[in-house]
Amino acid sequence: MLNASVTVDPAFVVGPVRPRTFGSFVEHLGRCVYTGIHDPGHPTADADGFRGDVVDLVRELGVSTVRYPGGNFVSAYRWEDGIGPVSERPRRLDLAWHSTEPNWVGLDEFMRWCAKSSVEPMMAINLGTRGVQDALDLLEYCNVPGGTHFSDLRRANGAEEPYRVTMWCLGNEMDGPWQTGHKTAHEYGRLAAETARAMRQVDPSIELVACGSSGSGMPTFGSWEHTVLTEAYDQVDLVSAHAYYHEEDGDLASFLASAVDMDRFVDDVVATADAVRAAGKHTKRIQVSFDEWNVWYVNRAESRPPSGDDWPVAPVLLEDRYNVADAVVVGNLLISLLRHSDRVHAASLAQLVNVIAPIMTEPGGRSWRQTTFHPFALTARHAAGEVLQVAVDAPAQATAKFGDVPVLDAVATHDPATGDVTVFAVNRSLTQDVTLDVDLRGFPGLEVLEATTLSNPDHTWQATADDATSVLPRANGSAALTDGRATAVLPPVSWSMVRLGRA
C-alpha cells in the first residue's frame, strides 16, 4: 500500500473549466462517418440517415465541439463535392486513407447532425491542395447570411440561416511529410497568415487555429511553431497540438505515464508561442488547441490503409478496441488538459465513432461504449467552474521513457456557484493500492457526494458489443471525509473521481 496526498485550495485557480476541452473529431476515415454516425438502413436513422442511437451516445459522452471533416482527409477535399443533391455528388479518391469518398455526407448534413447532437462544429479547411480562395468560398457558404453566390447556394440547399461557424482550423498537420500538399514551416506560415487575413475580412468574429506539430517527436517540433507563428502571429488565435499514445513492448509503466509527455508538450508549445510574442512585441497570447489526442495503436494492422487497386468505401480502419489501462490513460490525459486550462483553450478527442473512438457501432446493428468512454463522460459532466492547481505529494514510479514519475496524478475543479469540489485522480502503480489523502481544509463543510473508480483486476479487459458493461466505473466505498481530509483507496491501474459538496 502506497500513500499520496493532494492539497486543494480555492486560491490557486489555473483558469476556467472550458467546455471546449471536451471536443471530439469526426473525419471521413474508415467507418467514422459511414456506418458510424451515418447509416440510413439503421432502425434509429433519421431523414438524413443519421443514427439516433449514436446521437444519444454522443450526448451522453458530453462532447462540446466536433472537428470536421479531417484530419488527413481534408488536405485533398473539395468541400463543394458534399453539397446539393446527394445523387449528383461525385465519387472521389481519398488519397489520405486510400479509400473512395462517395460524398453521401457533406457540409449541410454535418451541420444538421451537429444541431441534433447539440455540438459546436469546428471546421478544418484544405490548405494542402487548396488555398485562400476556397477557404473564402467555404466561409461565405457557412457564415454569410445571404445575397451572395455561396450564401444563396446554402439557402437553396435548405439552410436559410447561416451556420455561423466560429472555430476554423487552417489545414491539418501540414508539418507531416504524409500530408497531401505538405509544406515547409515558412511556406505554411505564409499561407496560413494570408488565408486567415482574408477570412477575417469576411467574418471578423471567427477564431483561427494554425497547424502546430503533429507530435512532439517530429524533427521540426519547436522550430515549426516558431516559424509559423512568426509569420502568422497577428492573424491567428490558437496553435494546434496532436498526440497519440500506446503501450509499446509491454511497457505499461511508461504508457500509464503518457500524461507526463502531454504536460511537457503543452509547456513547450506555450513557451515557443510566448517567445515569438516577446520577440515580435505582440500583446495578445496564442492559445493551444489540442485538437487531436487519444490512445492509438498506430502500428496494428487495423491502422494500415488499403493499397493497390483497392479503394473501398468506408473500410474498417483504426478500429482500436480499448482496455481498462487505455481508459486510465485517457482519463489522465484529460487531467493534463484540465491543468493547462489557462493556455489549452480547445481540445478534441480523436476520434468519435469507430475510428480510435469511445463509441463503436455495427453496421445496421448495435452500438456500445468503449472503456475510454467513461472517464471522458464523467469528467465532461462533473468538471465545473474553475480548475485548481493542486499540490501532489506521491511516491515515485520508475518508467523507461520518462524516468521517475509520481505514482499518482490529480487535478481538481471548484464550482463557486455550487461550492462543489471534484478531484480527478489516477493511480499509475501496476501492483499497489494508493491511499489518497486530500487536504480540503480550504473548503469547510464539504461532504463526499460520490466517489467513483474505474479499474479491473485484469486491466486488459475490453468492452465488446456482447459485453460492454461487466467493467464500468463503480462506487468506491472506501471514500470518507473527516476533519477536512478526504481519503480513498485507489486500486492499481485506476482512474477515479471524488465529488465533494454540501449534501
* Positions in the binding site for ligand AHR (CB under 6 A): 27, 29, 70-72, 172-173, 214, 292, 350-351
Q: Is the dihedral of CA 87, 92, 97, 99 positive or negative?
A: positive
Cβ(198)–Cβ(177) under 8 Å? no
In angstroms, give the least distance from the CB of 299 to ligand AHR. Answer: 14
Task: Read off the DSSP letter of residue 185.
Answer: H
In sequence order, which residues have a C-beta less than 8 Å from that of residue 337 and are 6 or more positions away?
21, 262, 290, 293, 344, 347
Distance CA 432, CA 161 (A): 57
Q: Give percent helix, percent strand, percent coil of the chain, each to the nearest 5.
A: 30, 25, 45
In angstroms, give the least distance from the CB of 363 to ligand AHR. Answer: 21
Closer by beta carbon to ligand AHR, 85 or else 177:
177
Distance CA 299, CA 315 (A): 17
At 53, which helix (H) or strand (E)?
helix 52-61
Closer by beta carbon to ligand AHR, 36 or else 49:
36
Closer by beta carbon to ligand AHR, 319 or else 433:
319
Using DSSP bridges, classify how beta strands 391-393 and 396-399 pair: parallel, antiparallel or unpaired: unpaired
- Catalytic residue list contains 225: no
Gyration radius of the chain's alpha carbons:
23
The catalytic position among 80, 101, 140, 173 is: 173
Cβ(48)–Cβ(328) under 8 Å? no
Task: Read off the DSSP letter of residue 74.
Answer: G
In angstroms, give the least distance from the CB of 70 to ligand AHR. Answer: 5
Residue 91: other Cβ atoms inside 10 A:
13
Q: What are phi and psi of 466, to 5 degrees?
A: -80, -30
Using DSSP bridges, classify how beta strands 2-7 and 238-245 pair: parallel, antiparallel or unpaired: unpaired
In angstroms, give the least distance from the CB of 365 to ligand AHR. Answer: 24
Closer by beta carbon to ligand AHR, 27 or else 237:
27
The catalytic position among 27, 140, 231, 292 is: 292
In angstroms, give the least distance from the CB of 31 to ligand AHR. Answer: 13
Task: Read off the DSSP letter of residue 125.
Answer: -
Closer by beta carbon to ligand AHR, 53 or else 292:
292
Cβ(472)–Cβ(369) under 8 Å? no
Distance CA 197, CA 193 (A): 6
Distance CA 40, CA 363 (A): 10
Q: Residue with the closest Cβ to ligand AHR?
A: 71
Task: Read off the DSSP letter of residue 93.
Answer: E
Distance CA 131, CA 206 (A): 18
In angstroms, give the least distance from the CB of 372 to ligand AHR. Answer: 14
Closer by beta carbon to ligand AHR, 122 or else 350:
350
Closer by beta carbon to ligand AHR, 176 or else 492:
176
In angstroms, give the least distance from the CB of 376 to ligand AHR. Answer: 16
Closer by beta carbon to ligand AHR, 96 or else 335:
96
Distance CA 328, CA 170 (A): 32
Distance CA 229, CA 216 (A): 17
In angstroms, give the least distance from the CB of 179 to ligand AHR. Answer: 8
- Catalytic residue list contains 247: no
At 191, which helix (H) or strand (E)?
helix 185-202
Active site residues: 173, 292
